[in-house]
Chains A and B, each alone.
Chain A
Amino acid sequence: MRRTEPVTDWETDFEVLDAGYVEDPFGIWDELRASCPVATTERRGRAWLPTRYADVTAIAHDTTTFSSSDVAVVTIEQDEDEDILPYGLPPITSDPPLHTWTRRLLLPWFSHRRVESYETLTREICGSLIKEFFDAGRADAAIDYAQQIPVRVISHILAVPDEMSDAFTGWVRDSLEFADDPERRRRGNYGIGEFLWSKVQERKEHPGDDLISDLLQSRHDGEPLEDSIILGMAMLTLIAGVDTTWSAIGASLWHLATHDDDRDRLVADPSLMATAVEEFLRAYSPVTMARLVTTDTEVAGCPMRAGDKVLMSFPAANRDPAVFDRASEVVLDRAANRHVAFGSGIHRCAGSNLARMELRVAIEEWLRRIPSFHLEPESSVTWAGGQVRGPRSIPVVLR
């Protein structure tokens, strides 16, 4: 665990990498919402942390004042990617108009129809992972299971071998989870960038029916896409599709390992799965995205200056008691649930259908074979946070 300067005042000096916040941010959000709903900090530049649903969604919809040109929660001083990625990772780091047309090229790859065609593969992946540890009677639900699923599905979409999974996982963690370590971040981004750049060049000669080949054949205003745009979109697909969904799967399994009543209820009544999946997404939303303030403005009385960062805590918004009854409880059959785990407005997660399918299938396949399990006594669950919050180790006994 990295060390950060201790926080004595969350209202004026918040630190999203603080170990206590990473492990249990919920009480801090509740206190902030009641006393100072938009917190601020000067650590790594000036940043703001809105915690109310109304503020987070209003900012997400105002894409003129709040740009996506820098979505990193952990602000990096130097921008070593500028040369190879002049357009960033479209559409997530883009504002309209670049955002609009690049997103339109990406969306069909994650449409409901397309995602259905990945479901059988996802089920097979889950089944074969469980087979590996089932007989041992114990497993790490994060490392042996959750972490392994989305990366393999994304590898399929990018048509790269399964054997790259561990390398991808390592690079994505370097890029996101260890973003405050310039060395690791650079290693992660270069690893992903160089690998996918070679695939872009390879697919020019040998096109297939994968995402990169499709982008190479796509046209915008009658012109082929620049290689750097294709690279950025492929990198985004990998970076955004791996530890986000793995974190959601892990957090859901952690909940079921620690709440026997919910686990038994879900096993007994699989018709709860549709609302339960949304409830896990609400209660344990993994992703926080940043926005860059483009012009001086004010939110809830807080004076934001051009150049400030806003950390869009969708996870905090989803725990807002002004919007959700019993906001701090997991209610498997919650009927009213306008959660924004996948964001809000034009940047709604392009891969949300895929993430939702993977989360549902991962829980279904686990519970079908392992209807009863609990945390390994005397061992500790570890959490990662920052851009993406989720458990990194969940030792469990399968009983």
Chain B
Amino acid sequence: MRLRIDPERCQGHARCFALAPDLFDIDDYGQSSVHSDGVVPADREDAARLAIANCPEFAIEALED
């Protein structure tokens, strides 16, 4: 699984970072980005799905391999 964040949609709610801090980076203005290249370790796919299902702006999407 690989995650992608749409920077136009992200409004800095930081819900993804609060729920899965190892999968996302966040800057001082709240903008989230995927950690490293967005590839989710197999044992963190549930956390990734949790982050997706908690984004109020529908800014995160999963690209299944």
B29 contact from A104, A338, A339, A345, Cβ within 8 A: A104
Are B53 and A342 closer than 8 Å at their CB atoms? no
Are B53 and A337 closer than 8 Å at their CB atoms? yes
Bound Cα distance A275, B19 (Å): 8
Instruction: Give the tally of cross-chain contacts (CB within 8 A).
Output: 59
Report B-chain residues with C-beta under 8 Å of the C-beta of A300.
none
Chain A residues bordering chain B, tally (CB within 8 A): 25
Asked whether A107 and B29 contact (CB < 8 A) given A337-B54, A356-B18, the answer is: yes
Chain B residues bordering chain A, tally (CB within 8 A): 21
Interface set, chain A 93-127, CB cutoff 8 A to B: 104, 107-108, 111-114
Bound Cα distance A259, B24 (Å): 34
Report A-chain residues with C-beta under 8 Å of the C-beta of B55.
338
Are B11 and A111 closer than 8 Å at their CB atoms? no
Asked whether A338 and B19 contact (CB < 8 A) given A107-B12, A108-B29, A352-B13, the answer is: no
The yes or no answer to B7 lying at the interface (CB within 8 A) is no
Asked whether A344 and B57 contact (CB < 8 A) given A112-B17, A274-B18, A278-B15, the answer is: yes
Bound Cα distance A338, B53 (Å): 6
Chain A positions 304 through 329: 1 when the CB is less than 8 Å from some CB of chain B, otherwise 0: 00000000000000000000000000
Are B11 and A107 closer than 8 Å at their CB atoms? no
A-B pairs with lowest CB-CB distance, top 4: A336-B53, A111-B28, A348-B11, A108-B28
| Chain A residues within 8 Å of B, Cβ to Cβ | 57, 104, 107-108, 111-114, 274-275, 278, 335-340, 342, 344-346, 348, 352-353, 356
